[in-house]
Chains A and B, each alone.
Chain A
Amino acid sequence: MTSSSLSLDHSSAHPSAQSSGATSGLGPWSAILLLAPLTLLMLGILLYPLGLTVWTSLYDGQLSVRAYGELATSTLFLKVLRNTIEIAVTGTLVSLVFGYPVALHLAAQPPRRRTACLIMVMLPFWTSILVKSFALVAVFGNQGLLNQLLGYLSGGQVNLPMMFNRVGVVLGMINFLLPFMILSILGSLLALDRRLVLAAETMGAGALRIFWKVILPLSMPGVVAGVLINVTLSIGMYITPALLGGRQDMMVANLVDFYTRQTLDWPAASATAVVLLAISGLLVAMLGRVRGGGLPGGAA
């Protein structure tokens, strides 16, 4: 599948390259001048601290990789890393399973209705993650709406622990991830020529076969992009596990926080952050190889 999505890429992605010709009359100096403010800003607030982090992870009186070596043998780090990957993969898969049908439904709507529905999909996307997390507690918490209802229905027998544990983290995560997954898949589905479905229908194919043989394979670029975006976003998640997770659900970003503020072990914190950055960077690089990066708004 990857090879076909890549060949798709080559035929259609290139027109954008021509637009760069518009500034060619201004000369190299104006390009430097135009880019200078942002470049300086990025140097100051991104590259310098990043460099500092890498330096801290490597310098401990002298240059050494001791911090990394300690990470590799630290049960805490390995457990947290496993947690992180488990949670990220679970959240991504759940969001794929829930997101695909929504995208399919949206793609089938007439444009005006689709816009209205998309606003509903985007609403959580536009809401502060902090606000959303507290809202989730209000709904899914031990005294939340859902548990009150369950308690009322069962006469106080049932109370599902859905917050401050793994379930809570995944719930909060998919709430955050779903719009990215849906938009990414929707982009692929809308690009799909409807006449292919009509052609399959005239040949006698039923809805299920059309989905498996036509719609799903042709929407794979969107699925792959959505999955990569989701994993990338969830792997660096900090607020959600901190607010909705339990003691056992610490993720890598929370570990960095733990090292910097609780144990003041700066080399360990820096090394952890560098490892996280490397994983995310790898995923983003993979994302770049999938057609168009997926998101219509380019929010990746």
Chain B
Amino acid sequence: MTFLSASAAPASANPVSVVPTVAPAASAMVELRAVTKRYGQFEALHRIDLSIAKGEFVTLLGPSGSGKTTLLNLIAGMIMPSSGQIVIDGRDATGLPTNQRGLGMVFQNYALMPHMTVFENIAFPLQVRGLARSEIKRKVTDVLDLIQLGHVAGRRPRELSGGQQQRVSLARCIVYNPALILMDEPLGALDKKLREQMQLEIKRLHAELGITMLYVTHDQDEALTMSDRIVLMNGGRIEQEGPPDTLYFKPETVFSAEFIGSSNLIPGEVEAVENGTVTLRTALGRFPVPAPDRPVRAGEPAVLLVRPENMVLTDRPGPTGVTGRIEDSILLGGVVRHFLRCADGTTVIVQELNQPGRAGARRDDTVRAAWSVEHGRLLPPPPAR
């Protein structure tokens, strides 16, 4: 958030200036200023402000139709914004054609040239840049070693596995050392195990090469694993942005809480606010919740968020807690997840660590699930639809 306000200030103070010298901090690789994209009546992106620092790994996360791919394509120059400004590496790139933006892009379907060998594919961007033949050979060989695919240099892309193809397409990007690499769900077509392996590989390349990366995915785990910062998109707007930790532990909206991680959401009405604690009246009882940063008034609706792993099954009485019957318990390896059905029909999820010899609650037991007051988080109610 600090990024946002710091970068937006000079733009609004002097909106016409687009020359590099007035671009804000030199550390910004990409700057989006009030970028809007409309398709007829439909607004795919609404006044997006976003700044990506040099060397940062930023993930655009969101459900399909949230505008994340549109945003990526705008930065790549494949589509033009309806209004707003795009600055790449201190240069106004709003109207610049794709091939002059100096980017790299990795596609979900790899987009390797089927009529070229692996070597020729990786050499292509170097030929575009007019490098000498010997120089090209050296660079391609180096980057093939980096991705450990030197032995397939002479093969055609279709002779490779999906994972190998994606590594080649990564190599084709990093070989010309672009300042910014865009990735559009690059691991979407791979199976789970390979995907996790590639996530680590991309992270390693990012750490080694220091290239700024903008990554699009709808997979929250991928976003949490890889990013320095996550930009969560919803309906053409930025719902929330911040480091993975912040998005997970301090979601600001019901949408954020639901999209990242699993969550118990208990709707209610604010009864009182005193000494930094809000009392929320819900169908399951009255609960104390730490007051959020935003002002809250008695009488307004609100939603209480408690993450399942912050819930414990306990007999001890306390200020928080709901009672319910265990409808189902599922084992997820290291953890166990209980689904409690409360009197009013709400389902509450409790996640416990799985220990050998765990006595554990059983199905159909009636139990009490409680949480520490500071683990509760008060969210504004979701917008009415």
Contacts and interface: CB of A to CB of B under 8 A. Distances in A.
Interface of A: 4, 7-8, 11, 193, 195-196, 198-206, 209, 213-214, 217-218
A205 B124 CA distance: 9
A209 B109 contact: no
Interface stretch (B85-93, B98-106, B286-294, B363-371): B98-106
10 contacts: A195-B107, A201-B99, A202-B98, A203-B104, A203-B124, A203-B172, A204-B176, A209-B128, A213-B113, A218-B114
A202 B109 contact: no
B115 A4 contact: yes
Nearest to A217: B115
Interface residues of B, number: 28
Contacts of B156: 4, 7
Q: Among A4, A201, A203, which residue has the most Cβ atoms of chain B within 10 A?
A: A203
A204 B111 contact: no
A201 B98 contact: yes
Contacts, number: 67
B128 A203 contact: yes
> Most chain-A CB neighbours within 10 Å: which of B77, B102, B124, B158?
B124
A11 B114 CA distance: 13
Contacts of B128: 203-205, 209
Nearest to A197: B111
Nearest to B101: A202
Contacts of B172: 203
A262 B20 CA distance: 83
B78 A203 contact: no
B385 interface: no
B105 A204 contact: no
Contact of A195 (B101, B111, B125): B111
B181 to A, nearest CB: 10
A11 B156 CA distance: 13
B76 interface: yes
* Secondary structure class of chain A's binding surface, majority of residues: helix
Interface of B: 76-78, 97-105, 107, 109, 111-115, 124-125, 128-129, 156, 158, 172, 176, 182
A139 to B, nearest CB: 41
A201 B111 CA distance: 12
Given A199-B105, A200-B124, A206 B99 contact: yes
Nearest to A196: B111
Contact of B98 (A8, A11, A198, A218): A198
Contacts of B104: 202-203
A26 B114 CA distance: 42
B99 A205 contact: yes
Contact of A202 (B99, B112, B113, B129): B99
A7 to B, nearest CB: 8
A263 B337 CA distance: 98
B109 A193 contact: yes
Given A11-B158, A202-B104, 7 more contacts: A196-B113, A201-B97, A201-B99, A203-B104, A204-B100, A218-B113, A218-B115
Contacts of B129: 204
Given A204-B129, A205-B128, A209-B128, A199 B100 contact: no
Contacts of A193: 109, 111
B99 A204 contact: yes
Nearest to A192: B114
